[in-house]
Amino acid sequence: MSKFIVTGGAGFIGSHLVDFLLSQKHEVIAIDNLTTGNISNLKQASKYSTFRFLKSDLKAVDYGTLLEKGDTIMHLAATVGVKKVCEETLETFDNNFQGTQILLDAAVKKDCQFLFTSTSEVYGDKKEAMKETDYSQMYVTHGGRCAYTLSKFCGEFLCLAYHEKYNLKVVITRLFNTIGARQRPEYGMVVPKFVESTILKNPITVFDDGKQTRSFCDVSDTVSALSALIQADHTNGEIFNIGNSEPVEILELAEYILSINQSDTAIEFQPLPDGRDQNKDIKDRCPSLDKIFDYINWKPKYHWTEAVKRTNDYYLSVLSPNNSDSIN
Ligand SMILES: NC(=O)c1ccc[n+]([C@@H]2O[C@H](COP(=O)([O-])OP(=O)(O)OC[C@H]3O[C@@H](n4cnc5c(N)ncnc54)[C@H](O)[C@@H]3O)[C@@H](O)[C@H]2O)c1
């Protein structure tokens, strides 16, 4: 049994990672300040005697006491979501960058292993599948979503620099769109937003012409990859894409969600909102999974249609009038 610290552990992916690690018989401490996370995501985890939740900003934790030599830090806490990031640019950069540096310092002091969750956004706009060795193409503009992308890119740099200088074991992961239960629609995540609109019979808003593509990975696949990458020896100091390699047009996604719900809810087309248009919304985003397959033999188990269906079923259950749980 190893000890894992999961920052952002009450969030969407973090809480699934906590559940997964507990099911693998590890000891887990989740740290979360509950800005976008929710304590109800840890309902299952709280049944384990090997689990502890620390409600705190990660920048305020006393790591000298919390960490022991050889622990593993899974760093998922971040300000996320296009809408929130565009409204809180400086806070986003500060939270994501400073938070990562504080944790890296703590990891060095206690000789911990460190996994960082970065984002596919660091690649910028590319039509073909993105490879870890690709050059990045980013737009730096006034305000807006580049605060998130840059904070993650700088976080990657910090991880590699700490790895070089202190011989710290680090693994950097670039997550592509991940979907599943517990993801919240209000910060601009596309699948929960479309599902919520369909279930509540509100029109689905598709930006631009809907021809932009994304890829969707089931959260259970994502967390199995995170866990396997940090526990493998030969992944040290490396960067890995995690996602699903099949691109899906946003309009196709909307139509699929309508079809599985047998809904005739309208699709409304709208121009990209300010924060996205000015900051060059990325048109296509799809990972190459060659590297992660070569290193740990991982590929997602769920096709995107199954992942969307699983997410849809979750929202159907929580939004049903008979359910006392809420998605908030
Ligand atoms: N969901 C995706 O598709 C996706 C894609 C790319 C990258 N990522 C990355 O994966 C990670 C998890 O994302 P998510 O979708 O689960 O988002 P989330 O908002 O559900 O999780 C982030 C969690 O971090 C917590 N948090 C934020 N700042 C904190 C701080 N200073 N101290 C303590 N807790 C703090 C939030 O309360 C939240 O619970 C993030 O780092 C995100 O950038 C996610």
39's CB contacts (< 8 A; 6+ apart) are 10, 53, 55
Distance 266 CA to ligand 1 centre (A): 31
Task: Ligand 1 pocket test: pick from 5, 19, 61, 80 the residue with the most ligand atoms within 8 Å of its Cβ.
Answer: 80
Q: Which two tokens stand for residue 228?
A: 């396997």
pLDDT classification of 299: cutoffs 50, 70, 90: very high
- Tens of pLDDT along 257-267? 999 999 999 99
Q: Please give the pLDDT value at position 278.
A: 47
Instruction: Check whether 284 has a pLDDT greater than 90.
Output: no
Asked whether the predicted pLDDT for residue 105 surpasses 90, the reply is yes
Residue 320: its pLDDT value, please?
Answer: 65
What are the pLDDT digits (tens) for 8-42? 999 999 999 999 999 999 999 999 999 999 999 99
> Is 44's pLDDT higher than 70?
yes
pLDDT of residue 285: 84
pLDDT the model gives residue 167 = 97
Question: Is the CB of 5 inside a 6 Å radius of any atom of ligand 1?
Answer: no
Asked if residue 296 has pLDDT above 90, the reply is yes
Q: Over pLDDT 70: what percentage of the chain?
A: 93
Q: Check if 96 has its Cβ closer than 6 Å to any atom of ligand 1.
A: no
Confidence of residue 314 (pLDDT cuts 50, 70, 90): very high
Closest atom of ligand 1 to CA, residue 99: 31
pLDDT of residue 134 exceeding 90, the answer is yes
| pLDDT the model gives residue 328 | 41
Buried b (16+ CB within 10 A) or exposed e, 96-129: bbebbeebbebbeeeebbbbbbbbbbbbbebeeb
d(CA 108, CA 106): 5
Does 287 sit in the ligand 1 pocket, CB within 6 Å?
A: no
Dihedral sign, Cα of residue 79, residue 83, residue 85, residue 87: negative
Does the Cβ of 58 fall within 6 Å of ligand 1? yes
Any ligand 1 atom below 6 A from CB of 34:
yes
Per-residue pLDDT, 322? 59
* pLDDT tens for each residue of 79-98: 998 888 988 999 999 999 99
Q: Token pair for residue 45?
A: 């985890």
Residue 324 has pLDDT above 60, yes or no: no
Query: Is the pLDDT confidence value at 232 over 80?
Result: yes
pTM above 0.75, yes or no: yes
For ligand 1, whether the C-beta of 307 sits within 6 Å is: no
Best residue among 17, 36, 187, 190 to mutate for probing ligand 1's pocket (most ligand atoms within 8 Å of CB) is: 36
Helices (H), 70-211: 82-87, 89-109, 146-166, 190-199
Give me the pLDDT at residue 308, please: 96
215 Cβ below 6 A of ligand 1: no
Residue 152 clears pLDDT 50, i.e. is over it:
yes
Cα–Cα distance for residue pair 189/178, rounded to 1 Å:
10
CA distance 283 to 26: 40
Residue 57 has pLDDT above 90, yes or no: yes
Q: Output the DSSP codes for 168-193.
A: -EEEEEEE--EE-TT--GGG--HHHH
Distance 12 CA to ligand 1 centre (A): 7
* 57 within ligand 1 shell (Cβ under 6 A): yes
pLDDT tens digits, one per residue of 165-193: 999 999 999 999 999 999 877 666 789 88
How far apart are the C-alpha atoms of 314 and 19, rounded to whole Å? 17
pLDDT over threshold 50, residue 327:
no
Active site residue 166: no
Q: Which of 63, 123, 148, 302 is catalytic?
A: 148
CA 255–ligand 1 middle distance (angstroms) = 28
Query: Counting beta carbons within 10 angstroms of the beta carbon of residue 234, is it exposed (0 to 12), middle (13 to 18) or buried (19 or more)?
Result: exposed
For residue 136, the model assigns a pLDDT of 86
Ligand 1 centroid distance, CA of 225 (Å): 17
216-230: average pLDDT? 98
Maximum mean pLDDT: which of 57-61, 187-191, 194-198, 202-206:
57-61
Residue ID of nearest Cα to ligand 1 atom 7: 119
Question: Which atom from ligand 1 is nearest to the alpha carbon of 38?
Answer: 39
* Ligand 1 pocket, mutate which of 5, 6, 13 (most atoms under 8 A from CB): 13
Instruction: From the CA of 217, give the closest atom in ligand 1.
Output: 3
Q: How far apart (Å, rounded) are the C-alpha atoms in residues 59 and 101?
A: 10
- Helix 250-260 and helix 304-319, axial crossing angle in degrees, nearest 10: 50
Mean pLDDT of the chain: 91
* Domain 3-184+217-246+284-303: top CATH class: alpha beta
Percent of the chain past pLDDT 90, that is, above it, reads: 77
